[in-house]
Amino acid sequence: MRNVIILALSISLANGAAISDIVLAPEDINTKIVVKADAPFVANSFALKDPSRIVIDCSGVSSDLIGKKYTLNRGGIKELSITGFTEQPDLVRVIGTLDRDYSFLTSTEGDNFVLTLLAGASNTFLQWQASASNPAPTMPSEEPQPPVAPAPKPTATVTGRPISCDFEDADILTILRALSEYAGVNIVAGKDVKGTVTVRLHNVPWRRALEIILRASGYAYREDPGVIRVDTAENLDKQDYDLPVSSKVYKLEFAEPGKMLDKVTAMLSPKGKAHVDVRTNAIVVTEVAPVHDRIHQLIQLLDTPTPQVEIAVRVVNVATNATKELGVQWTLQGLESRILRADFQSNEIPTILGFGEFNIGTVPSLAQLSLAIDMLEERGKARTIAAPRVSAVDNEEAEVLQGERFGVPTLDISGNTVIQFYEAGTKLNVTPHINSLEEITMDIGVEVSDLDRPSALAGRPIVTTSEASSKVLVKDGNTVVIGGFIRQREAELVRGVPILMHIPLLGALFREKSTTYEDLELLIFITPTIIRG
C-alpha cells in the first residue's frame, strides 16, 4: 500500500481540559483510539511515514500521562507514546507507531476525541487503557527517530456528527463497514460492489460522505426501514421491480389529478400503472413499495394550496391635456403596439395598418388616484368605462372584457347567410406570479378595439384594434398603469338665443352649430393584491 498523508481535524469550543486516559479498543474490523478528557478540547490528527505513525495533537490541555511510552502490539499499533513541549506547555502529543499505513476517520464523543483506524481485517484483541498499564522502560535508541513534523493549526469547528476522512486506494467494502459502524446503521453491499476509492473529505455529514463515495465509484443506494442497500443503480432497480405490487389511492386536496398524473407516471417502474379517479379527486397507483414511497413524497411537495391574487381593473377615458393631473409616473414609454383594422364585409384576414405606441407607469397611491379621477369626472375631463375585479390563481391567466358584441351577416360555404358575432371594447389578459418576496410579476396582454359606427350603419362594420403586451413587477397592492391608446371624440355644440332658438323653422335663424374634436387617452389601471387566508 502506498504511503498516505492524512489530515483530519476536530475542534471543540473550550480550553483548559485535562486528558485522563487513552483507550485502545476493537470495533468490528477496525481499531478505535479514544483520548478521554474532562472537558472539550482541540484535536488535530495526521499521519506520517517512514516509519508509519499516527499523530494526535491535543491543544489547550494538560495530562499526567506526559512522558510515558507503551508497547502494545495490537490493533495495528506497535507503540504509543505521550509527549509534551516546554515551549508550549498546553500541547500534548500522542504518537502511535503502526505496523503499516492505514486510513482513518475522526469524530468526537462528548468531551472525547475518537480516531478510528481502518484495519479492514479480522481484528480481535483485548481492550487496553493507559491508566491501567505500566509504561515500557526507557531504552536508548540505536537510531535516532525521524523528527515529527509540526502539526497544522486547527481551522474548523466540528459539531454534531460530521466525518473527516482521507482515503487513497482504499477498499470500498472496508469504507462501507467503517461508515456503518460510525453512523450506527446497517449497510448491505451487493455482490457487484467492489474496487478502491481515493477521496478526501473534511467535516461533512456521514450521509453526504456516503453519497459522494458511492457516486465516485459508480454505485447508488436505497434506504429502506432499518437498512441501506448499496449496489449498482441497475441492480437496485431490478430488486425494487421484483417486489410485489400493491395499489394505493392518493387523494389530492389542492392539485388537479389530471395535471399531477403526468408527474406520477414519469416515476413509475415498467410494472407500475396509474389512473385518475375523477369522483374522489384522487390518483390510483399500482406499484412496488419503494416507488410508492417516492410518489408519496412527490405528492406531499406538490399538493399544496395555491396562492391567489385579486386583480382590480379600472378603465378610464381621460382628456389628453388632463392626464398629468393623475400623478402617473411613466417608467416605459414609446413601446410598440400593433394596430389592426378589419373590414368584416370583405371576409378577409385583418391587415396591419401600422404601429402605435403605449406607455407603462405606476401610481404611488391608489386612494390618491381614485380622488384625482373623481375630480376629473366632475369637470368632464374623464369618464370611467369599467371597474371590474377578478381573482386569479398563481400562474393562471385571468381575463377581463369590457365592451359589446355585435353580429355581422356573412355567407358560409354553401351561400347561406349566417350571423357572426364579434367583440369590440377593452380586453385584458393578466397572468400573475407571486415570488418569495411577495412581489407580483404580471404578464399583461391588452387589446383595445373600436367599432366604426358609420361603417356599421352602412352594413360594412369596421373594427380598429390595438394590441399591447408586457411583463411588469410590482409590489403587493401597488398599481400599474397602461396608457397611450389615443382616441378622438367628436362633440356638437349648439348656441343661440334662449326660447327663440327652439321655434320650429324660424329657430335656425337664432342658433348656430359648431363641431369640436377632443383627444382622449384610454388608461388602464391594474392593482394586484395577494389574497391571504
302-359 per-position pLDDT tens digit: 898 888 999 988 888 888 777 776 766 665 444 444 433 334 333 333 333 333 445 6
pLDDT surpasses 60 at 149: no
**What per-residue confidence (pLDDT) applies to 123?**
66
Give Cα 519 to chain centroid, integer Å.
49
User: When comparing pLDDT for 458 and 429, which is higher?
Assistant: 429
Q: By the 8 A CB rule, do 11 and 158 touch?
A: yes
- The whole-number average pLDDT for the span 362-377 is 74
CA terminus-to-terminus distance, the chain: 66
The stretch 480-493 carries a mean pLDDT of: 74
The mean-pLDDT minimum among 56-65, 101-110, 157-166 falls in 157-166
- What integer pLDDT is reported at residue 284 of this predicted model? 95
- Cβ-based burial of 313 (10 A; exposed 0-12, middle 13-18, buried ≥19): buried
> What HEC string does 157-177 produce?
CCCCCEEEEEEEEEEHHHHHH
The stretch 294-304 carries a mean pLDDT of 90
- Burial environment of residue 267 by CB neighbours within 10 A (0 to 12, 13 to 18, 19 or more): middle
Report the predicted TM-score, pTM, of the whole model to 2 decimal places: 0.47
Please give the radius of gyration of the chain, using alpha carbons only, rounded to the nearest integer.
41
Name the band, by pLDDT with cuts 50, 70 and 90, for residue 453.
low
* Whether 103 contacts 65, CB under 8 Å: no
State what percent of residues in the chain have pLDDT above 70.
80
What residues have CB less than 8 Å from 361, skipping those under 6 apart? 328, 329, 330, 331, 332, 480, 481, 483
Does residue 432 or residue 447 have the better pLDDT? 432
Q: What is the pLDDT of residue 280?
A: 92
Residue 432: HSE in the Cβ half-sphere, 13 Å Cα cutoff = 30
Query: What average pLDDT score do residues 144-160 get?
Result: 39
Answer with the residue of higher pLDDT: 427 or 161: 427
Q: Regarding predicted confidence, which is higher, 289 or 489?
A: 289
C-alpha–C-alpha distance, residues 241 and 288, integer Å: 7
What is the structure's pLDDT at 286?
93
Rounded average pLDDT over 103-131 = 82
Average confidence (pLDDT) over 157-181 = 75
CB 135 within 8 A of CB 173: no
Q: In the structure grid, which three cell numbers stand for residue 8, read together?
A: 483530519
**Which domains are assigned to the chain?**
7-137+156-231 (2.60.40.3500), 243-302 (3.30.1370.120), 309-531 (no CATH)
Q: Are 503 and 476 spatial neighbours (Cβ–Cβ below 8 Å)?
A: no
Buried b (16+ CB within 10 A) or exposed e, 494-525: eeeeeeebeeeeeeeeeeeeeeeeeebbbbbb
* 414-438 pLDDT, tens digit each: 878 888 777 788 888 999 999 888 8
Q: Is the pLDDT of residue 23 over 90?
A: yes
Does residue 13 carry a pLDDT above 60?
Answer: no
pLDDT of residue 207: 83
Return the higher-pLDDT residue of 142 and 201: 201
- Residue 275 binned pLDDT confidence (cut-offs 50, 70, 90): very high
Lowest pLDDT segment from 8-22, 99-113, 213-227, 481-495: 8-22
Of 3-12, 177-186, 378-387, the least confident:
3-12
Q: Please, what is the average pLDDT of the chain?
A: 78
